[in-house]
């Protein structure tokens, strides 16, 4: 009697005296069944297959972009919108609401929001634009330059820093004399003249009401048609999302579909999280900027808030670009609230 018989256990018999396979504790039951049922079939992609598929996909993407370059922006926006709204539709399916019904309800609410938001905000935007249009550029520029001149004149003649005496007043006086003699820095009257010329040119352009009106009407109808087409494409994308995913998976061999489904799920989760995060961040930055500028009495606070929210999607450079017009307006016009403080 052998030791294994004494222990009351039996060892698995393998071919050609091979050692028994130790099961992986991290392997799921479904994966183990597939491995046993298909022992000689490897469902993972090797490096050469992945490279070949990547090259084919890149060529196909370039070809599709070329033939659909005129409608590609609308398709991209529709796809992004479908990605953002697809989790809400899936949530409706979990509570036993048909996918088509939940999709229609969500898009109806979206259309209502798109209609109500301009109705609510356009009057406020017009008031903000009117306030900025009445902005006295020459007078405020003259006041700002006068303030800068008085500040420079009020600087002390000498400043002691870490025991060293810095002749600040003498240096500034010498710079002013050299600048006036070399005509490098324009005078206040020259600056005001340039500003007045710019305003006159702007007024001349604005007086062309007929051509501007035709352009505005054409742009309005073009934008309305683009929004309508984008919503319809996004609606069908959202309704047929499961079918689109199944069709894409059917283009690949059956042995690769499980890995492909996992890849598509991860890509969808990453992009949905990224787009939702960008949307939340833009809304937060825009609302915060609007509230902060409103509290300090900044003219055009709503416009600057919308601009800050839109430019937030531009990495690093967006906040700087949104800050420039607000800072210029604050320096030239000041605050309506703190002016009397």
What mean pLDDT is reported for the chain?
74
Could you state, in order of their start, the residue ranges of all structural domains in the chain?
Answer: 46-127+204-251, 256-341
Q: What angle do CA 172, 173, 177 make, to 5 degrees?
A: 115
Who has greater pLDDT, 121 or 161? 121
pTM, two decimals, is 0.51
Residue with tokens 């430019």: 311
297 by DSSP, 3-state: which? Answer: coil
Spatial distance between the Cα atoms of 240 and 238, rounded to a whole number of angstroms: 6
Q: How confident is the model at residue 6 (pLDDT cuts 50, 70, 90)?
A: very low
Q: Using the 8-state DSSP alphabet, how is residue 237 labeled?
A: H
- 44: pLDDT strictly greater than 60: yes
- Model pLDDT for residues 231-262, shown as the tens digit of each residue: 888 888 888 888 887 887 788 888 888 888 88
Cα torsion at 124, 127, 132, 134 (round to 10°)? 180
Spatial distance between the Cα atoms of 199 and 94, rounded to a whole number of angstroms: 60
């Amino acid at each position: 009697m052998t030791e294994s018989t004494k222990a009351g256990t039996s060892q698995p018999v393998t071919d050609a005296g091979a050692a028994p396979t130790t099961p992986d504790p991290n392997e799921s039951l479904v994966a183990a069944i597939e491995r046993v049922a298909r022992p000689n079939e490897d469902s993972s992609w090797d490096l050469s297959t992945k490279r070949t598929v990547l090259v084919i996909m890149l060529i196909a993407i370039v070809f599709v972009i070329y033939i659909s370059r005129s409608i590609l922006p609308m398709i991209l926006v529709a796809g992004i919108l479908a990605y953002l709204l697809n989790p809400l539709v899936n949530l409706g399916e979990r509570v036993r609401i048909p996918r088509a019904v939940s999709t229609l309800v969500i898009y109806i609410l979206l259309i209502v929001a798109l209609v109500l938001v301009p109705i609510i905000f356009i009057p406020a935007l017009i008031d903000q634009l009117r306030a900025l249009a009445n902005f006295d550029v020459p007078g405020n520029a003259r006041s700002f330059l006068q303030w800068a001149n008085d500040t420079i004149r009020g600087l002390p003649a000498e400043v002691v820093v870490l025991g060293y005496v810095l002749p600040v007043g003498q240096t500034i006086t010498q710079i002013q004399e050299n600048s006036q003699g070399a005509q490098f820095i324009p005078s206040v009257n020259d600056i005001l003249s340039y500003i007045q010329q710019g305003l006159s040119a702007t007024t001349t352009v604005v007086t062309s009401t007929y051509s501007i009106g035709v352009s505005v009407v054409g742009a309005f109808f073009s934008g309305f048609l683009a929004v309508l087409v984008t919503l319809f494409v996004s609606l069908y994308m959202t309704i047929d999302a499961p079918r689109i995913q199944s069709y894409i998976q059917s283009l690949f061999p059956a042995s690769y579909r499980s890995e492909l489904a996992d890849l598509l799920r991860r890509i969808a989760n990453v992009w949905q999280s990224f787009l939702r995060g960008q949307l939340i961040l833009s809304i937060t930055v825009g609302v915060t900027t609007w509230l902060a500028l409103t509290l300090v009495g900044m003219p055009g606070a709503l416009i600057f808030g919308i601009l800050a929210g839109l430019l937030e999607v531009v990495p690093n450079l967006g906040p700087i670009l949104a800050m420039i017009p607000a800072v210029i307006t604050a320096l030239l016009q000041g605050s309506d609230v703190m002016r009397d403080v």
